Amino acid sequence: MNKTRIKSHSLSAKFDGEGDMKKSPLTFLVVLMLVSPMLVIANAPVTTNSEIFEKTSIITQDQGTRLDPEDHTDHVPILIDEASDWTDQGWPGSGTQGNPYLIEALNITYDVDTTGIRIINTDAYFIIRDCYINQLSNTDAIEIVNTTHATIEYLTIFSEDNGVVLNNADNTDISDCDIESEEISLQLITSTGIDIENNRLHTLDNKTFTGVNCTNLSMSHNDISCALALNVVDFDNCNVSSFNGDRIIDGMRGIAMANCHTVNLQGVIVRSSFINGIEFSSSSDVNCSDCDIISDGTYGMEFDNTPNVIITGSIVESQTGDSINLDTCNDSLVSDNHIPFAGGYGIYIVDGDRTNVTGNIIDESDSYGIRIGNSIDILVLNNEIADSTNYGIYVFSTENILLSGNHISEASADGIRVWNSPGVEISHNTILDSVDDGISLGATHNAAMINNTIISGDTGIEFSTVENWTVSGNIISDTDSHGIYITQGDNHTVTGNTISNIDGYGIYSTLHSNGYFAHNNITETTSYSFYLDNGDNSTIYNNMFIDSYTLLAVDTTVNTVVDSNALIDGSYSAVEIYSSDYLDFIDNIIDSYCEYGVYFDRIQNSTITGNNLTDCGFIYELYTNGQYYDNTVSNNYVNGLPYYYAFEQNNLNIDGSDYGQIFLVNCTNSDITGGVLSRNTLPVGIAMGSNILISGMEYSDITVGILAYNITGLMISDIEVYGPILYQAITLISIIDFHLDNITAIGDASSGLGMYAVTSFNGSIHEFDASYFTSGAYLMQMENVTVSESAFMNNEDRALYIYNSDNITIQDGLIQNATYGIYLQSSSEIDIVNNEIRYCSTYGIYGYTSSDDYINVTLSLIEENNYGIRVSGGDYWTITNNTIRWNHQYGVYLTSSIGDEIHYNEFYLNAAGNGYDNSAKFWDDNIDTGNWWYPYDGNPPYEVNGGVSDDRYPMLFMVTEPIINSPMDIYYAEGSTGNTITWYPLDNSLRDWEVTIDGVVTLSGVWNFDSIEVNIDGLAYGDHTVVVTVWDVDQHSVNDTVLIHVYDDTPPEIEDLPNQYAFVDGSGQTLEWEVSDLHPGEYILIRDGEEYETGTWNAGILSVNIDGMAEGEYLFIMEIRDLDGNADTDSVRVRVINDDVSPTIDSPADISYIYGTEGHYVVWTPEDEYPDSYEIEWNGTIIKSGAWGGGKIILNVDDLSPGTYEFILTVYDGSGRTASDGVNVTVSALGEIAPPVDWGLLLIIGAGIGGVIIIISAVLYYQKRKSN
């Protein structure tokens, strides 16, 4: 066996001749004299690296014999079994501690079934050293039995059986050996005081290192490995053992110990291939610190029935199972370990009371990060857990556990899951990006959850079947379903939590009673801020609910208190209360411009008092059961005015201007007059009662206008309504004997219905004007109602929608610019008399169903629609005495309709045809008169398109003076093309025509017997008037005027402004946006949801001053609009800082230089946390200025004329505080200035000269004495 060794060499130096060591003192002094001035003048700092002078002794030694093969002496196997063998066999030494027996430098290579060295039954001290032992037979290489003082070192052993066996071999040291064996490399049996250091142990076919019934074992820096799937280190009943820096490779288990107590593992490296890196069973008092454990098998570390385990500072990794597994290990500590990966649980504690898991880092696990079960008094503190494929921390059936300070991210299930574990406290944890819940609790009672931060995931905190919980001070944001979800449990206290940006519910509590919810702040949820469902005896107190779809809902509860909450900016509703008894809704502040303010549905025996509503109001679901309204309602305010609520009162005379909102229940003979109301959800509500008058009111920007329900005798008159109207301007439900008169309702693009009337009878609607709604009026299940002298204009869908109604009269009305003019569905006996119906993009009058029968259309003007009248299967229509003209398809279009009477009408210039009928009937009076038609060739009958219907008595429609259609006013986008106006004039002898735009003739021509079409592209932005005039040959004329509105459809542009700083004491601070548009209009700047500034703007820079704000962070949203309402927005956050520290500035030295030289700079180094700008002044004039970012400020002072100058720098911080410094610069002409005196250099030179003088004097004195 050849090995390369590092040899130690002793080097010595020796001087020859003592005379060399006794040089002349004179020579020494002369040298010192010459060198010392140089040393003094150099005067440079010297850095000394102390490591250069450190003496380090490092021995690099491989395990095994240190001798070369030729340096070993061949020897037969050795047996020493009595004291005399030492001397009889000639081994040197005396067997004492100071002079032990020595077996050294032997080569024992034999195959004789005999142990290579066997020493038994001796108390002598002995050493086996630097031997080479090759055991070729199936027996041990070395066996030491019944000894007390053995030392085995520097051996190289190969064995077909065991390597070294110690049996009752106390106080044995084994070091620096290389032992490789087929069976056990090192076997300890019933021994104590064993030290094993720096050995290499390797086994080919068994366990590598075993110990049985041993104590006081010390292992250090050994390399131990195993070729088979067996335990590398295997101890049983070995107490007071330690491993320090050992490296254990491969095998089934790296270290397996059973019934071992007081074991210390320090800095151990384990690489296990099959099952566990480290395994302890039925042991105690195990300390593993700073170890590095990687197991390709089941567990990194497994402890079973082993109390008092300490695992600290270690790296532990397992590929298929738990990294650290403790089963029935009480009073243990798992602290400050790093788990890069766990194929199962990162850390698993089961049946382990009084165990602490603290400060561990778990990077990734294929199951739970930490799992705790069936334990008592557990601390899980300050762990970092990431990327778990299940729960981050899972606790089950455990009492009195504290989970605190843990950081959990990207758990594929819940961040923390606790089940059936009373007495748990979960506090100060941070949980990020869980797939399911941040914290989930089930069947766990009497516990607390405090000051946790949960970001992202499905639900922040979930309770299921738990009781008596305190949830306080938690921060929850960005979850996908709920902030806090509570189901099936009682007696929870939920206080002081901050919940924001939830895609669902802030807090949802169901089947939970006796809850106390207070001081929570919930903002930005897409569903409900707080929903309480089936939760009796609960209190909701002093919470802040902001910016949600609905801020608060209470559903099916008894004895609920909603007190002193602030509810702000619900997009759909502020409060919804359903099916609740004995509710106290008191002293709440509600500021929410939304569809429903405070909505009550079936509440009884409740108190509603002291509430203050802004931009919304109260609204009730409608019932005939009066008990749902019989509540105590007092001292509530809507938009700063009292809320009027009356229940079962008579003869009321209410001045509407005194109240913010009015609601009457079961009142009679009462009047409501006057008042201008806005943004109060429902201005006036009347539920049940009789003989009610509402008049002289104006209201706007509401959800539902006047709402009347189950009234006999209702009069509504002189009402003005302005949009937006979300649902209905007027609502009538189950009204008998009603009269509406002189009502104007103007909506906007978002408005619903001008009127909604259902199951109401015997009424009249007079002078009801509804425009800019989805539908002007919707009448459903109505009877005996007249709509007269009313106008329905510019409504998006149906101007007038009549559904399942009978005996309705529509007369003397104006209907124009809708999708459908009059839309009939399942209705009969409808009279449409003397109306004007035009500009309907689908049908002027439409009978939608086959049950729309007995409809009478007479004396009406129906023009410029797509179809004039469309009947789809309805029968017995009467269409007489109407003018039906200029419709873009057919004047009248019938399908599958029988029994109709169509005569005495004027049909002309309907584009596709005057009439269409797929049934056989006569379009005349069956006597002698039909309809007037144009065009008509004069040859009867007039054949109607579509079938075999005709008019047997047609007449030619012709006029002797011109007539012309009147197209709708036109809106088109600036720069668009293809915009035209087409007129269809009619006369028996037309001659010519002309068109003027804004009074200027732009086009004229001779009549071509068809139409007049004018292209109006290219008009300037704004409004224009187009007039066409047509003449006949008799100089009769007609004209029509069309207004053209050229609008801007391109939104303005505003730059994205980065977030800004501002200062409490700053001045001239602005936000400045670059803005552009062809037609700028107005801007509005919102700060934290409130209007900050408005005004007009022009293209260029839009600047807004933001001085004077208090310290804090603000969100500004700038919205700019052009003249047509197109808008663009930008948001910017401004942090306002209270900076009361002035800048500091250094004072550079003054400068002198000779005129004409270059490279002269003044360099200032000012400092401030919030630098802003600087100025440099000379002779009262600012010569340089600019932004200061906090760095140096450099001024080049070259090229100055001879003279003296003072330059003053002033720096400013963001708060306007300043600091200044001045530097003098002197410029001299050539020859005018002497170089400055370097006093330091003069001192050094003087010191050198003085030293030379002293040394020379000393030399002379020495020589004089020698000569004497």
Q: What is the 3-state secondary structure (H, E, C) of 531-564?
A: EEECCCCCEEECCEEEEEEEEEEEECCECCEEEC
Q: How far is CA 585 from CA 600, 620, 862, 881, in A?
A: 11, 14, 55, 62
Does 1133 lie in the same domain as 1057? Answer: yes
CATH number at residue 975: 2.60.40.10
Indicate whether 1041 belongs to any domain: yes
pLDDT at 749: 72
Cβ–Cβ < 8 Å for 598, 621: no
Indicate whether 1209 belongs to any domain: yes
Does 1219 lie in the same domain as 1194? Answer: yes
User: Could you tell me the mean pLDDT of each successive run of 10 residues in the chain, 1268 residues long?
Assistant: 30 32 39 38 32 30 90 97 94 97 97 96 97 96 98 98 97 97 96 97 94 97 89 96 95 94 97 88 97 92 97 95 96 97 96 97 96 97 96 96 97 95 95 96 91 96 91 96 93 96 96 94 96 95 96 97 96 96 97 94 96 96 89 97 97 97 97 95 96 97 94 98 91 98 91 95 98 96 98 96 98 97 98 98 97 97 98 97 97 96 97 95 96 94 93 93 92 94 90 94 87 93 95 92 94 94 91 95 93 95 95 94 94 92 92 92 92 92 91 92 93 89 92 50 57 56 51
Read off the amino acid at residue 1144.
T
Beta strand spans in 960-1006 (E): 970-973, 980-983, 990-997, 1000-1006
What is the rounded CA–CA span in Å between residue 198 and residue 220? Answer: 6
Going by C-alpha positions, the residue among 317, 308, 364 that lies closest to residue 337 is 317
The neighbour count for residue 369, using CB atoms within 10 Å, is 33
- Which residues are paired to 814 by β-bridges? 791, 836
Does 984 lie in the same domain as 1020? Answer: yes
E strand or H helix at 325: strand 324-327
> Could you report the per-residue pLDDT of 292-330, keeping only the tens digit for each?
999 988 899 999 999 999 999 999 999 999 999 999 999
Does 1032 lie in the same domain as 987? Answer: yes
- Which residues are paired to 1054 by β-bridges? 1075
What is the rounded CA–CA span in Å between residue 814 and residue 771? Answer: 11
Indicate whether 703 belongs to any domain: no
Give the total number of structural domains in the chain.
Answer: 4
Three-class secondary structure of residue 1259 per DSSP: helix
Tell me the Ramachandran region of residue 136: left when phi exceeds 0, alpha when psi lies from -120 to 50, beta otherwise.
alpha
What is the rounded CA–CA span in Å between residue 785 and residue 44? Answer: 112
Does 1184 lie in the same domain as 1258? Answer: no
Q: Judging by beta carbons within 10 Å of its beta carbon (0-12, 13-18, 19+), is residue 1183 exposed, middle or buried? A: exposed
What is the rounded CA–CA span in Å between residue 871 and residue 58? Answer: 109
Q: What is the DSSP letter of 587?
A: S
Three-class secondary structure of residue 640 per DSSP: coil
What is the rounded CA–CA span in Å between residue 693 and residue 762? Answer: 17
Indicate whether 1181 belongs to any domain: yes
Angle at 1087 between CA 1081 and CA 1092, to 5 degrees: 55
Going by C-alpha positions, the residue among 354, 454, 338, 431 that lies closest to residue 399 is 354
Q: Which of 1108, 1137, 1166 is the last residue of a domain?
A: 1137
The neighbour count for residue 644, using CB atoms within 10 Å, is 21
Three-class secondary structure of residue 1255 per DSSP: helix
> Could you report the per-residue pLDDT of 621-674, keeping only the tens digit for each?
998 888 899 999 999 999 999 999 999 999 999 999 999 999 999 999 999 999
Does 1021 lie in the same domain as 988? Answer: yes
Residues 6+ apart with CB under 8 A from 589: 565, 566, 567, 611, 612
- Which residues are paired to 619 by β-bridges? 599
Residues 6+ apart with CB under 8 A from 210: 184, 186, 187, 188, 233, 234, 235
Handedness of CA 1230, 1234, 1236, 1240 (dihedral sign): positive
Going by C-alpha positions, the residue among 556, 621, 543, 553 that lies closest to residue 589 is 543
Indicate whether 1009 belongs to any domain: yes
Does 1245 lie in the same domain as 1195? Answer: no
Q: Which of 1047, 1073, 1107 is the last residue of a domain?
A: 1047
Does 1057 lie in the same domain as 1042? Answer: no
Beta strand spans in 896-1036 (E): 901-903, 906-908, 913-917, 932-934, 942-943, 950-951, 955-956, 970-973, 980-983, 990-997, 1000-1006, 1012-1015, 1022-1032
pLDDT at 744: 97
What is the rounded CA–CA span in Å between residue 336 and residue 332? Answer: 13
Read off the amino acid at residue 563.
D
Does 1100 lie in the same domain as 1077? Answer: yes
Pairing of strands 1037-1047, 970-973: parallel
Q: Judging by beta carbons within 10 Å of its beta carbon (0-12, 13-18, 19+), is residue 346 exposed, middle or buried? A: buried
The crossing angle, in degrees rounded to 10, of helices 1239-1267 and 25-42 is: 180
Indicate whether 1253 belongs to any domain: yes
Q: What is the DSSP letter of 225?
A: E
Read off the amino acid at residue 239.
N
pLDDT at 56: 27
- Domain span at residue 1028 reads 970-1047
Does 1222 lie in the same domain as 1161? Answer: yes
Q: Which of 1002, 1022, 1047 is the last residue of a domain?
A: 1047
Sheet containing strand 1000-1006, edge to edge, reads: 970-973, 1037-1047, 1022-1032, 990-997, 1000-1006
- Which residues are paired to 843 by β-bridges? 820, 867
Q: Which two tokens stand for residue 183?
A: 């069976």
Indicate whether 380 belongs to any domain: no
Indicate whether 990 belongs to any domain: yes
| Number of Cα atoms under 13 Å in the Cβ half of residue 543 | 29
Q: Which two tokens stand for residue 1198?
A: 């070259």
- Which residues are paired to 950 by β-bridges? 922, 943
Q: Judging by beta carbons within 10 Å of its beta carbon (0-12, 13-18, 19+), is residue 1098 exposed, middle or buried? A: exposed
What is the rounded CA–CA span in Å between residue 471 and residue 1172? Answer: 46
What is the rounded CA–CA span in Å between residue 307 and residue 321? Answer: 22
